[in-house]
Amino acid sequence: MASVRSSPAMMRPLPGAAAAAIIAGAFAALYLLERRRPLRRRTDDDTSRTATNLVAAAASAVAIRALEKPVVTPLARMVATRRLGLLQKLGLPPWAELTAGVVLLDYTLYLWHVLTHKMPMLWRFHVAHHADLDLDASTALRFHFAEMILSIPWRAAQVVVVGAGPRTLSIWQTSTLVAILFHHSNLELPAPVERWLCRLVTTPRMHGIHHSVVPEETDSNWSTIFSFPDYLHATIRLNVPQEEITIGVPSHRRPLRITTFLALPFRERPARSMTPPRRLAALGPAASLADAMPPADRVAHWRDVVS
């Protein structure tokens, strides 16, 4: 059993060049495909908002490289060397350790995502991500650098509690980036494909509902890679047609360019509760009549996709 647990392969992370190639390839493919088969109509200038999102992504990447990686990477090595955490105690074969590790890290990321919405201090940073007026692959990279910094203790706790070694951690991180690129994309999948896929992983229609201005819709579909956490905690919502969704948050109905985006968490405390539906006019010209409808009155023709 000891030889299985000390597998040299599990001590080696996925090569950085391979991970970068996978992520860049996924972004390029989705960026092109979502323009050929768009799921939702755009409301903002594509070039300006994409530039904003990419600059925001660069700032986050610098923060992760400078502050998260020096903490989490050595921690993963220590976990594997000293046999800390759940997976290390179980002594699973490498394939089982890797599979269970990705699933458990994904589940604990679901819990963190819920916290970023429920805790006011975290929401004021996470709202910068939700303030995008459109949703596409570039939105997947649009996170405030301060939110990345605030997530470091949680990431460290994930590694220690789960017992994620270097290989497990690196494969989960790469899989997570590919997954968020996919489910943030504006790619319209064929209905039969989506009907099958959303039972296993988070899809563009599912996550589009999460980015709605309507509170009952925002507070759903928090999963990242696999969709099972939403089914497990009854936070799944699939009955909202995409054409009825207004993307964004009610408090920010104008495009945020990079300086405003970076300053946003430090300038104001965004309301966690959304604008009541009866005050539709306050949402601005991008809102739709769907925002004024109680969830029970919505036409659930998404059932044709998921049932």
118-167 pLDDT per residue, tens: 999 999 999 999 999 999 999 999 999 999 999 999 999 999 999 999 99
| DSSP code of residue 199 | T
pLDDT in tens, 78-92: 999 999 999 999 989
Contacts of 283 (CB under 8 A, 6+ apart): 213, 246, 250, 253, 275, 291
pTM for the structure as a whole: 0.86
Sign of CA dihedral 288, 294, 299, 305: positive
Sign of CA dihedral 29, 31, 32, 38: positive
Higher pLDDT, residue 30 or 266: 30
Is residue 190 a contact partner of residue 39, using CB atoms and an 8 Å limit?
A: no
Q: How confident is the model at residue 64 (pLDDT cuts 50, 70, 90)?
A: very high
Contacts of 125 (CB under 8 A, 6+ apart): 116, 144, 146, 147, 150, 265
| DSSP code of residue 274 | P
pLDDT in tens, 280-294: 333 333 333 333 333
Place of tokens 């929401």: 123
- Chain centre distance of CA 254: 22
Where do the structural domains in the chain lie, given as residue ranges?
42-271
pLDDT in tens, 164-222: 999 999 999 999 999 999 999 999 999 889 989 999 999 999 999 999 999 999 999 99
Characterise 233 by phi-psi region: left (phi > 0), alpha (psi -120 to 50), beta (else).
alpha
pLDDT in tens, 20-39: 999 999 999 999 999 999 99
Q: How confident is the model at residue 225 (pLDDT cuts 50, 70, 90)?
A: very high
181 by DSSP, 3-state: which? Answer: helix
269 by DSSP, 3-state: which? Answer: coil
Contacts of 307 (CB under 8 A, 6+ apart): 195
pLDDT, mean over the chain: 86
Which amino acid, one-letter code, is at 224? Answer: T
Tell me how far CA of residue 51 lies from CA of 58, 238, 263, in angstroms: 11, 31, 17
231 by DSSP, 3-state: which? Answer: helix
